[in-house]
Amino acid sequence: LEQMSGPMARAAVELAAGVGRRTAELCSLSLSCLDFDDHVGEDGEHRTSPVLVHDMPKVDKIGMRLPIFEREVAIISAQRARVLATFPDTAPERLALFPRVLKNPDGTRPASPNWLDRVMRQWVDALPRLDGPERDANGRPVPFPRHRVFPYVFRHSFAQRHADAGTPVDTLKELLGHDTVRSTLGYYRVTARRKRAAQDALGPLQLDAAGRRARPSLNGLSDAEALREQIGQVAVPFGVCTEPANVAADGHSCPFRHRCCWISPMFLWSRNAQDGDGSLVRSVGGSPSGRVRILDVPSPLLKTGGEYSTSSGEHEVRRCWHGSTGSGQGHPLPPVAGLLRRCRGVPGEPLGRVRVGPGSP
């Protein structure tokens, strides 16, 4: 690339791959785009961290400060030195980091995005081979489509690298300069390796409706079990459903409106933590703070009655849980939705904490 189009083209492509900015944002960088943030470490010493200062006109953000690494600092510093040597008579604050080559005697006019598209296309087309990650039947690498390599895809690669490294999606949203998480989700995919790692970690922790581990002796999922989980269950409130008709309808065919989770063998809890009394504490989204807490029903209560109240003690509900009695009759289900609604109204509690007290059916 440097032999074909010069050192500035190489610097622009390498920087685009490292910072994931839009092509127009990258080309319009000023010579003073490199800055440093001061902070104090845990040992009390002052340190500096490099940031890329740039504007994002597409989303009306001025002075965006993107954390970068020493590799990008070296690229910017080398390109800055070349620009200062080329335009010594122009004030540095007026210079562009990537000045256009023609009709730009003072170096203040930045290169256009079309220039970067053109030099990168010439470089990619001139490569003797471009292999993709896939292999054919003989084990040879499959050629990657050259038309799919252009400057903007570096933005997707930037998002994918951070997602694979475990960067939270809300943090990635800020790094990309998006207004909503929905926009960020379109820039990366959850790889099969990450899905399998999550299945192996959470599979042994799934609970059935009685609060027992669904796989008590399992340390990891086999390949067949992992595939079965991908096609044989669907996410529902508080866990997953394995009922075939509901799975086929992508979770939209539950005749009980997802209220069977207390008794149905088709429902599996997603375990988060276990409380000291044997109840299961769960954190789910939905509250203004982003987390709410409830307590799952311990298995003994599936066959007995109980008294349930919030941790504030202001709301109490006495009901009999579904299960067998001496006469063979089943008890009615507790009004879970109504209880949770009352818990939400308790000041100072995001959702409320359901506790089990003494009582009889």
> Could you tell me if residue 176 is inside a domain?
no
pLDDT in tens, 209-229: 566 666 665 555 566 665 666
- Pick from 136, 151, 166: which residue ends a domain? 151
Residues 222 and 136 in one domain: no
> Could you tell me if residue 164 is inside a domain?
no
Domain CATH number, residue 30: 1.10.443
**Residue 40: per-residue pLDDT:** 77
Residues 101 and 33 in one domain: yes
> Could you tell me if residue 98 is inside a domain?
yes
In the chain, how many domains are there? 3
- Pick from 248, 271, 294: which residue ends a domain? 271
Contact 63, 53 (CB under 8 A): yes
Residues 135 and 252 in one domain: no
Residues 263 and 335 in one domain: no
> Could you tell me if residue 236 is inside a domain?
yes
Which of 22-26, 199-203, 240-244 is predicted most confidently? 22-26
pLDDT in tens, 57-109: 998 999 999 999 999 999 999 999 999 999 999 999 999 999 999 999 999 99
Residues 74 and 135 in one domain: yes
**Residue 257: per-residue pLDDT:** 60
Residues 216 and 265 in one domain: yes
Residues 113 and 223 in one domain: no
**Residue 241: per-residue pLDDT:** 78
What does the alpha-carbon distance between residue 45 and residue 326 come to, in Å, rounded to a whole number? Answer: 71
- Determine the structural domain holding residue 107 and report its residue range: 2-151
**Residue 302: per-residue pLDDT:** 35
> Could you tell me if residue 159 is inside a domain?
no
The DSSP symbol for 119 reads H
**Selected residue with higher pLDDT from 50 and 213:** 50
Q: Spell out a b/e string for 76-88, using b for 16 or more CB atoms within 10 Å of the CB, else e.
A: beebbeebeeebe
- Between 33-37, 72-76, 305-309, the lowest mean confidence (pLDDT) is in 305-309
Give the residue among 235, 234, 236 at the shortest CA–CA distance from 244: 234
Residues 260 and 280 in one domain: no
Q: How would you classify the pairing of strands 141-143 and 206-207?
A: unpaired
Task: Give the chain's mean pLDDT.
Answer: 73
- Between 19-28, 35-44, 252-261, 334-343, the lowest mean confidence (pLDDT) is in 334-343
Q: How confident is the model at residue 240 (pLDDT cuts 50, 70, 90)?
A: confident
Give the residue among 208, 356, 357, 348 at the shortest CA–CA distance from 289: 348
Residues 219 and 286 in one domain: no
**Residue 111: per-residue pLDDT:** 96
Residues 328 and 311 in one domain: yes
Residues 224 and 261 in one domain: yes
> Could you tell me if residue 172 is inside a domain?
no
**Residue 109: per-residue pLDDT:** 96
**Residue 107: per-residue pLDDT:** 95
Kindly tell me the sign of the dihedral angle through the C-alpha atoms of 271, 275, 279, 285: negative
Residues 78 and 17 in one domain: yes
Looking at the chain, the whole-number percentage of residues with pLDDT higher than 90 is: 41
